[in-house]
Amino acid sequence: MKALMSLGALVGILGLLLLGGMTLDVVPSNTVRLVEGYMPMQLLFEVGCYVLGFTGLSYILNAMGMAIPRFWQGIGFWAFFILYLKYRVYPPIPFSVRAMYGTVGLVCVFMWVSANEEDWQKFKQPILNVLDAQTGMNKMLRYAFLALIPVLMWGFSYNAMMPKSEEPIELRTVHPAPPASTKVHGKTYTLQTSQNPYRVNPEGKYDQEYSNANIVEQSMGRLMKPNANPWGENSQGYLKYVREGGEIFFQNCHFCHGDNLNGRGLHAFAFNPIPANFTDPGTIAQLQETFIFWRVAKGGVGLPNEGFPWASVMPPWEQHLTADEMWKVILFEYWHTGYYPRTWD
Amino acid sequence: MGLVARKKLFSIMALGAMVGLLLLPIVMALPSPAIGEEAPAVEAGQAGGGQKEGEGEKVEKGRDVYYKTEGIVAGAPAPKTTDGPADYPRYNFESRVLIWFANQQHLYYGSFVLAVPIFCMIIEFMGVVTKDKALAKKYDQLAYDFIKISLTAYSLTAVLGGILIFTFLTLYPAFFSYLSSIFRPVMHIYALMFVAESGTLYIYYYGWDKMKEGFLKWIHLSMSVILNIIGTLLMFLANSWIGFMMSPAGVDEQGRFLGNIWHVIHTALWNPLNLHRILGNMAFGGGVVAAYAAYKFLASKTDEERAHYDWMGYIAMALGVAFLIPLPFAGYWLMREVYAYRQQMGITLMGGLLAWLFIIQATMIGILFLSTNYYLWQAMGRMRGAEKYQRYIKYLVFLLACGYMVFITPHTMVMTPAELKAMGGQQHPVLGNYGVMSAKNGGINVIITTTVLSFVWYMRGNKVSTVSWAKFGNIFMGVFFACAYVNIIWLAIYGYYIPANVRVGLSVPQVATTLSCLFFMFALNSVMMRGAKQMGPIEWGKISARSQYALIMLATAFTWMMGLMGYIRSSVRLFWHVNEIMRDNSPWAYTHTVGFAANMISANVLFFWISILFVFWLGSLTAKKAPVEAKVGVPGAVPQPAGSH
Amino acid sequence: MGALNNPVIAVIVSLIIAVGYFTMVDHYLMDMQGLDYWYLFRE
């Protein structure tokens, strides 16, 4: 038990040192890398390790007679959590989300320290001591708070009232609801039922299973399947269309959406917001193919009312491409990112 | 002897009368299709001027927008309104806000008075079947307390319903006359059922003392069943109106009624709405009663009172949570049906315009479960022997926190353009993954499983199992819970690697895992705790004040969430009165900003709580007059109630 | 019963039951929806 706890304590100290380094900018925050594809779980796992480490640390300190008071445990853990979110995670998390997490953290720390009466007494005691001010130290502290709290309040109000030069926050609807049907080059497509005419099996029938089996591997660096190279000598059917789509993509789309389809093209950073990142699981991976078709065809100007403030400069591609070409580009995008279009059955 | 027999006869007659009242609307409804078929002759004649084909004797046919069946046109088309005093008369104020307020208050009270009799029925039944005399009496008293609260609220519901109808008639006459032309028979049945409900409720309440023994008690209990059947049917009928507004059926494209009233009632979303609302009402009712108990607990001056209200709060909370746990699943069903009905509507809800509101909803759901867990941990303070679990609570907090944070991570984050640039895109590479359904399902299931675990700990708090396989049982429970967590998290991760149409299916085994924990572990626990050694009694009333605030928090969160979800459900129609049939041409056909909606919901919640405090106060006035004969308060002697139910 | 009260055996037996049970839950509930739980592994 003791050995286990010592190990935990070691993990805790190491973690704290690492985080301290990141906070003070001595250690870059990508020292411990976030591995693509595993990041969400990695993050939770890391925080879990920290918690276990702290448990070990507090156990060992307790055994050595240097127990940290409950009050400081609570405050300390919360401070750790805030610092972790701010300095460990990269790219930086927006303030709104950090504020949400921080609040949840605070509530959870409160739930922890007040879960039973004894702990709650221990936690409250330092606060009550300061309020009672029986000792000189506490009296000093109380006066300090008397001065500090108004100053803090003043600071907050000053900060809130001061005019800012930042652009205001926009609550943008990234995927507005599509219309029931859309008309492209004189043909009406019902979004719920239309299909990509090029997502076909060797027999020429629409077949998502078949095409899914031929897309690149999602995890670990996007590898092509052995017998599914669209640029191979004798690629036919689906794979041939993927190749054609790829050619159209690199003639038209990649300037903005990037050669890796990650929205980091040559011109990407001239736009605000930057173009859609297709490798993100939140874009094409969760949309129907017909939704993409509609967006490609109608572009930024064709966004519906709820797409306010229509912050998209994508041209309506129906003016430049045929419907077939657009379907092929979409085919290529799914193939390259290794995602499957959403279906409803 | 003769007296008893007469009483029996009389009570059976009363019950028969109630059943008769219940059947009356159905009898009334039988000729109603016939009436509906007569009507077109008159109405077609009136509307004939505007329709080319409507002239002459030719019977006009229309196609059902949802069921795709042919039917004889039997009503006028939906009016095309224009903005003006004829269709939208108004005060110098936004009519939509007025109708919103009236609707919401009516719904709050309506769901409260529908839920409380269901609790009454359950608790009264528990009282009847319990062998322990003292406990039985206590249950009975509790049920009586419940119905007493709901009685004043009942009349307030009716008053608010009246206000709602008047608001509709005065501010939205064109819309309301269209709706009532379609639902004419349903509205009459509704009114009649309301009469039946009132009659039953009053007999049920005032007959309580007269019918408290033996056979009469069973009659009384069956009355509560009838009362609840009527109440539930009432709600179903009211749901058919909103179901029709969201997903119309039984009319053609112009909104003309096609003669089949069942199609109009049984729309695509009717049944999911029914289920969701029943469960929601129960959870809400439990929350309100728990808040009432908490308020009384905090205000009580004697230990006896404190014990009673502590117990009442616990029961109400347990009932509320019991219905809260299946609620998300009913919500998934509703959402699935919404997607099946119109994908557009589903996207507007979950991914588009209203997605921000769903983040707030997730936050509220999390608060509900967090408060529940917190209350249970506090409640372990009132029994000796629960100390052994205290030191593990921090790990439960950690699990809850992780689940909660994943659950509330927005898919699209609120950020300044500067932050957007720093992040390099709309999606955060780490947190963006928490924003999708797969991770969120994992999060909420972890939270619910943890709640189940807290319940299990609470139920075995002061007991030590004495069965011969106790050790194995404990280990098995631990392993089972651990595997459940692993399975939930594994399925959440797995969802990222498989296509969307397979992924949506993963939520079913996830839910099944959570429910397995709930049912198997509760069952196993109660088997293990049979004849267990008690470390000490449950000392009712010896609970921290913080726990009571948690109950109040729970109730407030319920109320707020109900307001929010109602708003979401209603505003998903966007600029339609009746989706795709009747357009809203008033100046208020736009969607409110998130901030305005949140303020409006808060105002509604505040008004509800102030008014219900008044109702509670009225209840306490009668309590002072009534003789305090049934107050049994020997808390120490009471073995653990409800825990095993 | 005696053997089951040995912690190691108890853990092993519990693990077998729990893992087996949850695998069955995953498999059959996906199967009921006409979906394949082992999708990723069959490729």
Å between C43 CA and nearest CA of chain B: 11
Q: Which residues of B touch A292 (CB under 8 A)?
A: none
Count: domains in chain C: 1
Class of residue B561 by CB neighbours under 10 A (exposed 0-12, middle 13-18, buried 19+): buried
Q: Which residues of B touch A344 (CB under 8 A)?
A: 339-340, 343, 501
pLDDT value at residue B443:
92
Q: Residue C21 falls within a domain, yes or no?
A: yes
Question: How many CB contacts within 8 angstroms connect chain B with chain C?
Answer: 74
Chain A (111-170) residues lying within 8 Å, Cβ to Cβ, of chain B: 111-112, 114-117, 119-120, 166-170
pLDDT value at residue B630:
43
- Residues facing A184 on adjacent strands: A187
pLDDT greater at residue A229 or residue A154: A154
pLDDT value at residue B636:
41
Which domains are delineated in chain A?
Answer: 1-113 (no CATH), 114-145 (no CATH), 181-337 (1.10.760.10)
What is the tens place of the pLDDT at every residue in B62-84? 888 888 888 888 888 999 999 88
Tell me how far apart the 2 most distant CA atoms of chain A are, in Å.
Answer: 89
Interface test with B, best of C28, C35, C40, C42 (most B CBs within 10 A): C35
d(CA B513, CA B498): 20
Strand-strand pairing, B576-578 and B582-583: antiparallel
Q: How far is CA B352 from CA B349, B389, B572, in A?
A: 6, 44, 10
Strand-strand pairing, B463-464 and B61-63: unpaired
pLDDT greater at residue A269 or residue B525: B525
Lowest pLDDT segment from A92-96, A280-284, B319-323: A280-284
Question: Cβ separation of B500 and A286 shorter than 8 Å?
Answer: yes
Using a CB–CB cutoff of 8 Å, tell me whether B184 touches chain A: no
Q: Residue C28 falls within a domain, yes or no?
A: yes
Asked if B166 and B175 touch (Cβ cutoff 8 Å), the reply is no
What is the DSSP-derived secondary structure letter of residue B383? B
What is the tens place of the pLDDT at every residue in A221-262? 567 877 788 888 878 888 899 999 999 999 999 999 998 888
Å between C40 CA and nearest CA of chain B: 7
Using a CB–CB cutoff of 8 Å, tell me whether B484 touches chain C: yes
Look up residue B201 and give its two tokens: 């409720």
SS3 content of chain C, % helix, strand, coil (to 5): 75, 0, 25
Using a CB–CB cutoff of 8 Å, tell me whether C11 touches chain B: yes
Using a CB–CB cutoff of 8 Å, tell me whether C3 touches chain B: no
Number of residues that make up chain C: 43
Q: Residue C9 falls within a domain, yes or no?
A: yes
Q: Which residues of C touch B471 (CB under 8 A)?
A: 4-5, 7, 10
Q: Which stretches in chain B have pLDDT values below 50? A: 32-56, 625-645
Q: Which residues, at least 6 apart from A38, have a Cβ–Cβ distance to it below 8 Å? A: none
Of B232, B224, B293, the residue nearest B540 (C-alpha): B293
**Considering only alpha carbons, which residue of chain B is nearest residue A308?**
B353
Among the partner-chain residues C14, C26, C30, the one whose CB lies closest to the CB of B475 is C14
Using a CB–CB cutoff of 8 Å, tell me whether B480 touches chain C: yes
Look up residue B455 and give its two tokens: 């319940």
The range of the structural domain enclosing residue C18 comes to: 3-34
**Residue B407: CB atoms within 10 Å:** 24
Q: Residue C25 falls within a domain, yes or no?
A: yes
Of B563, B571, B569, the residue nearest B589 (C-alpha): B571
Q: What percent of chain A has pLDDT over 90?
A: 34
pLDDT value at residue B28:
59
Q: Residue C42 falls within a domain, yes or no?
A: no
Among the partner-chain residues C21, C36, C40, the one whose CB lies closest to the CB of B497 is C40
What is the tens place of the pLDDT at every residue in A175-210? 788 888 899 999 999 888 888 999 988 888 888 888
Question: Cβ separation of B344 and A177 shorter than 8 Å?
Answer: yes
Question: Cβ separation of C30 and B479 shorter than 8 Å?
Answer: no
pLDDT value at residue A217:
75
pLDDT value at residue A326:
95
Q: Among positive and negative, which fits the CA dihedral A48, A53, A56, A59?
A: negative
Using a CB–CB cutoff of 8 Å, tell me whether B570 touches chain A: no
Using a CB–CB cutoff of 8 Å, tell me whether C10 touches chain B: yes
Question: Cβ separation of B487 and C15 shorter than 8 Å?
Answer: no
Look up residue B479 and give its two tokens: 């392993």
Chain A (188-247) residues lying within 8 Å, Cβ to Cβ, of chain B: 191-192, 212, 218-219
**Considering only alpha carbons, which residue of chain A is nearest residue B352?**
A176
Q: Which residues of B touch C7 (CB under 8 A)?
A: 471, 475
pLDDT range class, residue A37, cuts 50, 70, 90? low
Q: Residue C40 falls within a domain, yes or no?
A: no
Question: Cβ separation of C29 and B494 shorter than 8 Å?
Answer: no
What is the tens place of the pLDDT at every residue in B420-459? 777 766 678 778 778 777 888 899 999 999 999 999 999 8
Using a CB–CB cutoff of 8 Å, tell me whether B150 touches chain C: no
Question: How much is the ipTM here?
Answer: 0.94
Question: Cβ separation of A104 and B544 shorter than 8 Å?
Answer: no
Asked if A280 and B425 touch (Cβ cutoff 8 Å), the reply is yes
Any chains having at least 3 CB pairs less than 8 A from chain A are B
Among the partner-chain residues B479, B497, B505, the one whose CB lies closest to the CB of C18 is B479
Using a CB–CB cutoff of 8 Å, tell me whether B169 touches chain C: no
